[in-house]
Each structure stands twice: as structure tokens, then as C-alpha cells.
Structure 1
């Protein structure tokens, strides 16, 4: 299956990969065919179009069509998240292929749990993910692995000051851009992954959940209202 994956949770990342699995005996296997990234968190709309055009023109990609799109659904700042989802839906409509959504923190948790496992951690290891929500706040949740490719969220997904993340409970490690910005979340533990999403991990999660019969909607997880609000009432 050939998949384009878009994450606009912080900067913009887009990759096209060839994916197989999962099967009863093997996890998802990915071969990245094209990959583009830019770090500016305020240039999603300007960057995603050229990034997509470049990826689709790559000789490794152009020879065959796409089968699906996977996009991050947040939580993340409003404008970037919206740009990524609109781009994903546009590809899906133009090419008549399905579009699947995966929460950004789930993908980041999967990448962090992979790193923990590589370091010798057991299958019950827990990671606390905290990503930048601006306004000196973070989005946060705790996770453990669910199989080789998926994750299970432990408790609620919250937005608030760094103390809200700390109050979620214990963890073997921390991950995310919020933990980098607010070191008290880590409490002296190393921050495994410093981003706000992971375009590669979200493909693995999507395929694992689709294989389990789950539906992967693309409604964004905002958790709070946009910064700009419509005025109430008219002028006098």
C-alpha cells in the first residue's frame, strides 16, 4: 500500500511510503520513498503545496498511484492543524482515495516507546507526552504500547499549564516539544522525542487500527477555542 502521511502539528512534514502489514506474525513495515520537512510553525499553508508537489514528482513515487492518506488530527495549534487536514482531504478527493486521521500525541508516543524499547524497557513501559500548546500551556497524555505498532492512552488528554502534565501521574520517560519548553515536566528525565507529532509513526498506528477494524476519522482535536473569536452583539 502506498501512503502519503502529513503532520502539521508544529512545523510541516510530509512523506510518501510503501507499507506492508501488519500480519499475525509481523508488524507494519515501511519503506520511505519521499520525505520533506520544514520547521517553521507559521508557514504550513505556504509549504505543504510545494512539499507535496515535490514528493509526488519524485521518480520513486511518480511511477505508481497513491492508495491512502494519513493525517495528524492534533491536538495542535489551530492554523497548522487545519492546513494539514485540508491538504489531506484535498488529496483524498482529487485521487478518490481514503483519508485516515491519527492523533498527533499518539504518534509521538509510539516513536518514544520505540526508543524506550530499543533501550531495553519492557512492554509495560509508560511515556508521558507533552507538546507545545502555546500560551505557556501544553497538550499532554500518558501512554503505553499496544502491540508493536499501536499505543493505548492511559487516562484523559489534557490542555493546560505544565503542572497539568505533571499531575497526570508517573512515567518511565517523557517526550514532546512541551517537555523541552518546560523542563519541570521532565523532572530530570531525558526527553526522548522533541517534536509534536511523527508522520512515520502515524502510518503504523493507522494500519494497525484499520487492521483491527477501527474507523479513523479526520475531525480535528482542538481541546480549546481558537484564539480569534467572533464579536458578540453589534455596534451601538
Structure 2
């Protein structure tokens, strides 16, 4: 079966990297996500990845210990670089996949500086590109960084990886009566206050006509089904 989406941006949360540990990086998840990503690369998908840093440090939590918001956000950006390097290592070691980390904060010893044309060239050469350090600016989420990079590289699909099957009318973990939403528009997502991602990220995707697919990353094969255009998860468009 041919893939429907040739260039895709995958947004992974830092919490996913922690696995059952709750903190740090779970080697089992690295092995699992490497296999999932390899299945896309083997189909010729040009894949870019944005990772959060919540498994190491979340900027807003710094306020609780007296760290100002901007400094906390920079610390969170550095946490995403750690996750990006871990994923790069796993992809190259376990999957044999050429991978490049591009950082919005310059740190040439460990990552290439983010340059849009360079990122696109890497994708065209079949390399997985990992965007690290968010947008390089405080007060912006990694969802917004993902939406921005998706627009810059002309991604055909934004995949928001979660631990649930898609979008619900309420938190399905807390409310078993929550109803599943198969498809919804950008504006309705915003107007109904559905907290799938922040409004800045949603608006960026809406303005650039990038569909958002929310799916459960913990179900093997979901990513491949997504790029093939199979009905899975919840679609925002």
C-alpha cells in the first residue's frame, strides 16, 4: 500500500520518552520508537521529528522553585536537545537510519544550527531530521515549534503523538463517558476549548493548511497507518 503523505512532521512528548519511569529516558521506548520510525523511512517517507523535554525539565515548573519563566523555558529547550541526541543515537545504532539534529539554539559541538534549506536538503536525502531547542525563544511550546517547522518544511501532515486514541470531548482517563471525535475543524477545536495543543500551534497549522492527526503512539503500526491515509486517530483540518 502506497503512502499518502510523503513529508511528515512527528511531534513526540518528553513524557513518552520517560516510559513507565516517569523521569529520564526509557531505553525500551527508544527501541520501540526506532522501529516505528524505521517503518516510515523504509516506505520512503521524509520524516522530521520535534520532541518535548518534559521528562527532564518543564519550563513552567521552574516558577515553583523561583526560576523566572524565560530562564525556565531555556532550560526546557536544553532538555529537548538531550532527548534529540538520545533519539538520534538510537535511530543510527538500532535502525541504521542516517539522522541529523538541528538546534534552534546554536551548539555546534553536538548539533547543526537550524537552517531551513539545510533541513529540507537532509529530508530530500532520506535523513530523519530532529528539530531541537523549540523555536529558540521562550514562551513558545514545543507544539508551536512543531507547527512552525512543519510549515517551514512544507510538511503534508502534522502527527501529534499521544497516549490516547485521539481527541475526546473530555479526558477519557478521568471520564469514561467522554465521546471520541473522529474529525473536527481547526476553529471548532479552538472554540470548544479542546486542549489538544495550544492555540498558536493550531493557528499556524490552520493558516498553512497542514492537517493535524492525533493518535496513540503506543500502538504498534499506528504511524505507518497514518502516513498511508488509513482512518486512525482524530483528524483536525
TM-score in terms of structure 2 length? 0.31
Greater helix percent: which structure? 2
Greater strand percent: which structure? 1
